[in-house]
A and B are shown apart, each in its own frame.
Chain A
Amino acid sequence: MCAFPRYSLLATSYCLILLLATSSCSKQEASLYQEQILALGALVDISISGVEPERAQQAASTVADDFNRIHRTWHAWQESELTRINARLPGGAAFPVQADLMPLMVRAQELSRQSEGLFNPAIGKLIALWGFHSDEPIGPPPDPGAVAALVAQCPGMDDLRLENNFVQSRNPAVQLDFGAIGQGYAVDAAIEHLRKLGIENAIVNASGDIRVIGKHGARPWRIGIRNPRAPGILASIEMQGDESIVTSGTYERFFEYGGQRYHHIIDPRNGYPAQGLTSVTVLHRDAVTADAASTALLVAGLKDWRRIARAMGVEQAMVIDEQGTVYMNAALARRIRFEITPAPKIEIIDSP
């Protein structure tokens, strides 16, 4: 007869617990295919989980082609479909454009309207005047008189008539620049394309404009949010299903001149770089809305960002002011985890 020693129950229990604990620690990650490309003046990361490497590689390659096509179509200062449209806009007559160019322009017009004009892709002339139609802006800042003259002409998306694949501008100062939503638009297009190819779990990240679908194996995707005030990660968030996260920051593109820093997010109301906030993070289902909203909220500043977020249908947003104080709504605060010690000063508000 086989007799178990007296200690076997306790010892076996411990051993089982340890075995379970160690096996969960060394759990295998789902297969992940990653590819990086350079397009739209950005580093684009494509991560695909849960499919064979050959299929993932083909899908990523297709998406890379999409990015390159969008880059060639919408480039604001190298010869593109957009520069050809901009060349004809001051004439004032209606002219035809390719049908596939209309959706971005129509969406940009809607988003501009919702943002009360704070997201304004019609100020291409101002962006160029500040020298941001360059891979490496160097300044100097423009003449104040020239800035004031352009602002006085009030170029806006409502100056455009977009009908039946025809475009017409009633304001000769309108020049389009989709830099504030081009990456979000491309990310959305990439995710749509991946879905058509049967990919259900992926991340497309164009220089920080991120959209995720599905999961990374059994766990959600883990996203780090870069610290606007120092190198490294400020916070992290888990995302799954179908969701985008976009951050606009004054640290992304800028030049320094005469000891002063001038960033690339221009306030269309006064023609100067927006003041008050250093970064805005927006979560939304689609990346193009998150992209436009992050710019609009940064321009809106601390006083108005909540109102503009509501108007744009944004329910989760976080803004950081020049002192480093973080403001966010409760829905986002429940999901976000700060990764720096000590954590920044945080103010949580009930709704965006």
Chain B
Amino acid sequence: MTRADFIVTLGAVALLPFLYVASWGNGARGEQARILVGGKEYARVPLYKAQRLEIPGALGVSVLEIKDGKIRFIASPCRGKQCVHSGWLALSGEFAACLPNRISVHVAGREPRYDAVNF
């Protein structure tokens, strides 16, 4: 093996972890959230910026929290609070909805990990 072969081999080995993550890893973290009210897009917000959002819906205001690349409902005027119980959403393709308040949140990224979620 020549010196050049050695350098190329070293380069290939060094690239392996990156290729592994790109091919098999959890490379589907969302980059932004689409917020829909009544089925219409209300806002698109990046997930890298921590903030609280107050979204007016059919019943009142739902409060969303964005932190560490994740988003969740933290308050909503519905009775069941199933949207709040949905917890954090981080992966592209994940979503949660407050149907009584007609607000839904969809995490979007370059390539969704799931095309649809069954529940």
Contacts and interface: CB of A to CB of B under 8 A. Distances in A.
Given A10-B5, A11-B8, A36-B39, A222 B86 contact: no
A221 B8 contact: no
Interface in B53-100: 78-80, 85-88, 91, 93-95, 97, 99-100
A43 interface: yes
Given A221-B116, A225-B119, A18 B15 contact: yes
Given A11-B4, A14-B9, A225-B118, A231 B87 contact: yes
A43 B38 CA distance: 10
A247 B97 CA distance: 17
Contacts of B78: 136
Contacts of B50: none
B118 A245 contact: yes
A236 B117 CA distance: 9
Contacts, number: 118
Nearest to A253: B80
B32 interface: no
A10 B9 CA distance: 9
A208 B99 contact: no
Contacts of B114: 222-224, 233, 236
5 contacts: A11-B5, A38-B99, A45-B116, A135-B99, A231-B86
Given A22-B22, A209-B118, 18 more contacts: A10-B1, A10-B5, A18-B12, A18-B15, A25-B22, A38-B99, A135-B99, A136-B79, A205-B117, A207-B119, A208-B117, A216-B115, A222-B115, A223-B116, A223-B118, A233-B114, A236-B114, A247-B119
